[in-house]
Structure 1
Amino acid sequence: MGKLIDEFRRGWQGAAPPSLGLSIAFAVACLLIATLTRWALAHVRPDVYFTPYFPAVFFAAAFGGFRIGIVTALVGGMLGVVVNFGDAFADRARFALLALYWAVCALTIWGVEHYRTMLAEQRRISKRLIEEEDYRKLLVDELQHRLKNKLSTVHAVLHQVLHDHPQVWARVDPRLRSLAATDDLISRIDKAGCDIRDLLISELGPYGHVRFTLNGDRLFLPPKLAVTLSLMFHELATNAGKYGAFSAPRGLLQVSWTVSDDRLIITWDETEGPSVDKVSEPGFGTKLLKSALSSFDGRTEISYLKTGLHCIMQCRIPRSE
């Protein structure tokens, strides 16, 4: 009995086609209910011959497919003509109503079958997307695992090489540990989100905590926004390390953020870095910064000032994800 109920539930939800026997049994039940409804209506309106069979055709076609729907329509029409619950006889008017009934049933069955086809295609696409998403997650987890192992290997090799140079190792070791902590944080925020201050400290920590200042209240970022901002902060920090404030001995960075209603505004200010004489053509990093926040109704403005890079990021904070 439980197996039959489960099959009925899966068939009704469109997860799997029901068996022929169950489809026929369901159609018979629909016809029986329609006939009982017609008998009850005959006490009030004896000339209602086919109306109660329309829902029976609809539900039978939705559950068992267009073939079951056609059979249900034919049987319902014959019952409407042959079975009487009053003194009325089968005249020409009833046969005219029968033709109209079958025409409406044909449109109903066509509409239901069209919907079933679309639903099946949607389920197929959803299943494929879920499988692809699971594969991507597996691939990302594997890449993160390999990256962590490689970073551990680099850490061990450098420790051996610099064993006789403790001063150099004292400068290298914290940065490697900060990079590892950043990778771990990004793998976690993809599932749970994180605080913006923790995210910035994780990204900027490898460059030295005395090189940057953070101004803003505690703010929890939802997972998708946290991952997006982590990519942007990583790009900005990498550029600062190569060409900006972190590449100069006295360079400093100040990051500030404010929230108004559901809008987040982040200001990235670099000072005392190398002067920017000429801006090259936008590369992948610049395109990422410009477009990453578009899905959050946001934008990014980048200015190359004499004091250093000035970037303003604005976006909407999702209420829930």
Structure 2
Amino acid sequence: MKKLIDELRRGWQGISQPPLLYSTVFAAGCLALSTIARWGVAQIRPDVFFTPYFPAVFLAAAIGGARIGIATAIAGGALGVFVNFSSATADSARFALLLMFWAVCGLAIWGVERYRTIVARQREDSKRLTQEEEYRKLLVEELQHRLKNKTSTIHAVLHQVLQDQPQIWGSIDRRLRALSATDDLIARLDGSGCDIKDMLRSELGPYGHVRFNLNGDSLFLPAKLAVSLALIFHELATNAGKYGAFSSARGLLQVSWSVSEDRLNLTWDETEGPVIEKVGPPGFGTKLLQSALRAFDGKTEVRYLKTGVHCTMQCKIPAS
């Protein structure tokens, strides 16, 4: 009995069709129940001949497929014509109703088959996407592992070369640890989320806590938005360390943010950095800044002022 129920369930869900014997027995049972229902209705309305067989045709087609559905429709029509629960005889009106019954059954069977085809296609697409997602995660984990190994190797080589120059090594060591911390942060954010202050402190901390000021309330960022912002902050901080506020002794950075309804407004404002005389052609970093927030109905604008880089970001905060 359990096996029969499992076969019927798989047929209903469109996973597979039950064996012909199961489908035939199920269709016969549906016809028997429909005939009993017709007998009950005939006690009130003797002229109801085909209506009780519609559910039988639908269920038979949904479980056993189109061929079983067609066979059930033919059998239901024959029962409606030749089985009487009153003294009425089959006339031309009943045969006209029979043709209408078969036409409606044909549409119902076509609809069921169409539904089963769509469900099967969606199931295949879902399976393929799941496999691709598993492969992507495996690939990302492998790349993260290799990146950590390379960073550790570079760290060890530089430490060996610069062990007699502690000041230079201290500055480089801090930067390397910042890169590793950012990589670890992005890897963690891929499955959860974090507070925007924790993200900024992790990214900007190696440059010195007195060099930046964070202005805004505590704000939890969902995973996908957190990853996008982490990439943007890392790019801006790297540029600040090379050419901007963090590259000069007196340079300062202020990051401010606010939330209006479900939109995040954020400002990255550098001051006291070197004057930017010439801006090169857009590279990967610029393209990243311009496109990272598009998925969140957002945009990023960067201006190169005399006082330093001024960047504004706007985006929608998705539901957690």
Taking structure 1 as the reference length, what is the TM-score of the superposition? 0.93
Between the aligned partners of 1:222 and 1:147, the Cα distance in structure 2 is 25
My pick for the range that moved more, 26-35 or 95-104, is: 26-35
Report what 1:308 is aligned to.
308
| Contact 2:215 2:257 (C-alpha < 8 Å) held by counterparts | yes
Please state whether the residue corresponding to 2:190 is helix, strand or coil.
helix
Query: Given residue 305 of structure 2, which amino acid in structure 1 is its aligned partner?
Result: L
Cross-structure match for 1:182: 182
Residue in 1 that maps onto 2:64: 64
Matched, 1:111 2:111: yes
Which structure 1 residue ranges, 5 or more long, are not aligned? none
Q: Which residue is equivalent to 2:154?
A: 154
2:250 alignment partner in structure 1:
250
* CA-to-aligned-CA distance 1:39-84 (integer Å, 9 cap, x gap): 1111111111111111211122122221111111111111111211
* Cα drift, residue 283 of structure 1: 3.0
Aligned residue identity for 1:247 = S
Secondary structure of 1:52's counterpart equals helix
* Partner SS, residue 312 of structure 2: strand
Q: Relative to 1, partners in 2 of residues 1:288 and 1:19: Cα closer, same or farther, differing over 3 Å?
A: farther
State the Cα deviation string for residues 8-56 of structure 1 (Å, max 9, x = none): 3233222333333332232222222211211111111111111111121
| Whole-Å separation in 2 of the counterparts to 1:254 and 1:84 | 88
CA RMSD, Structure 1 to Structure 2 (Å): 1.8
* Residue 126, structure 1, aligned to residue 126, structure 2: yes
Give the structure 1 partner of residue 240 of structure 2.
Answer: 240
Worse overlay, 169-178 or 136-145: 169-178
8 Å Cα contact 1:179-1:206 kept in structure 2? no
Alignment of 1:282-321 (within 5 A): 282-320=282-320
Give the match for residue 262 of structure 1.
262
**How many angstroms does 1:209 deviate by?**
2.7
Instruction: Say if 2:20 is the partner of 1:20.
Output: yes
Question: In 2 relative to 1, CA 29–255 (structure 1 residues): closer, same or farther, beyond 3 Å?
Answer: same
Question: 1:223 Cα shift?
Answer: 0.6
Aligned to 2:138: 138
Q: What SS is found at the alignment partner of 1:94?
A: helix
**In the alignment, is residue 230 of structure 1 matched against residue 230 of structure 2?**
yes
CA distance in 2, matches of 1:17, 1:243: 67
Go from structure 1 to structure 2 and tell me whether the alpha carbon gap of 1:4 and 1:146 turns closer, same or farther (over 3 Å shift): farther
In the alignment, structure 1 residue 204 sits paired with structure 2 residue 204: yes
| Number of equivalenced pairs | 320
CA deviation profile, 1:93-123 (whole Å, cap 9, x unmatched): 1111111111111111112211211221111
Aligned-partner Cα distance in 1 for 2:38–2:318: 53
In structure 2, runs of 5+ residues without a counterpart are none
Deviation, 1:257, is 0.9
Q: Does 1:34 align with 2:49?
A: no
Q: For residues 109 and 153 of structure 1, do their structure 2 counterparts lie closer, same or farther at Cα, with a shift above 3 Å needed? A: same
Distance in 1 separating the partners of 2:20 and 2:206: 66
Aligned residue in 2 for 1:90: 90
How many Å apart are 1:287 and its aligned residue? 2.6
Supply the distance in 1 between the matched residues of 2:206 and 2:220 (Cα, whole angstroms). 22
Q: Secondary structure at the match of 1:221?
A: strand
Kindly state the Cα deviation for residue 198 of structure 1 after the two structures are TM-superposed: 1.0
Q: Distance in 1 between matches of 2:169 and 2:278?
A: 36
Counterpart Cα distance in 1 of 2:245 and 2:25: 76
Aligned residue number for residue 11 of structure 1: 11
- Cα deviation for residue 6 of structure 1 reads 3.0
